Amino acid sequence: MGVSNVQILHLSDKSLEVLTFCCETIPVFNRLIHLTIKTHRHGEVGWESLPALLKNCPNLETLVFQGLHHKDTIKCEEVDGCLCKYFEDIPTCLSSSPVKVVKVLKFGETFFNYDDMKKQLEQDKHFLETMPNLEQMILYYNTPYDNDVLEVSKQLQILPRVASTKCKIQVISDNLSLSFSFSTSGLTFFNSTFPV
């Protein structure tokens, strides 16, 4: 309760674990506008407490993930695990989220194989498909290869549906930045490929 009046909050994956196992109810954070979740690259902690936390942040504007690493748990197949994208028919807490900006730092930091990249990309797609107030998603892709950035950008552009047609998406690496948005008439490119 002592931190429920903060405007900016940074939580580690271990903090999420503590919230999962130690708290009966998560307090309402009425003043919270910026939340950062730092995840460990080995993904040893699940996100069970994150949906409840997001539901209790009615004025949250910016959600930052320092990595999208988390352990798959049984909750990912239930309503409370609504941050995970596994089944299309699962209701999601994100559909009522006020978040306008999602930033993913260290995207691609620990891709050991194609499945690792696919899992993180599916998570980003889930955000785009379910967050109706989203105005901007920025992926800071940790890769030296321009083709990686192009491929991720391409995958995000072919989504069959998005919750917010005014969302602008940026995929940024050390060498390259792509920017596009969804509109009611299809994709709109704000910037073509350009060096950073």
Does 100 map to a domain? yes
- What does the pLDDT read at residue 147? 86
The tally of domains found in the chain comes to 1
CA distance 188 to 174: 23
Tokens of 69: 């690493």
- Give residue 180's pLDDT: 76
Q: Considering the domain boundaries, does residue 166 fall inside one? A: yes
Whether 31 shows a pLDDT value over 90: the answer reads yes
Which tokens in the block code for residue 180?
């596009």
pLDDT: which is higher, 89 or 27: 27
Instruction: Let me know if residue 3 belongs to a domain.
Output: no
Q: Which two tokens stand for residue 95?
A: 């559909």
Rounded distance, CA 86 to CA 22, Å? 27
pLDDT tens, 59-82?
Answer: 999 999 987 765 555 444 444 444
Does a structural domain hold residue 97? yes
Residue with the two structure tokens 């004025």: 59
Q: What is the CB neighbour count within 10 angstroms for residue 182?
A: 22
Confidence band, pLDDT 50/70/90 cuts, at residue 17: confident
Residue 144 lies in a domain: yes
Indicate whether 1 belongs to any domain: no
Whether pTM > 0.85 for this model: the answer is no
The boundaries of the domain holding residue 131 are 8-195
Q: Kind and range of the H or E element at 122?
A: helix 114-130
Residues, the chain: 196
Q: Identify whether 107 is part of a domain.
A: yes
CA distance 194 to 150: 12
- Which of 43-52, 66-75, 80-89, 165-174 holds the top average pLDDT? 165-174
**Is residue 26 situated within a structural domain?**
yes
Q: Which amino acid is at 37?
A: I
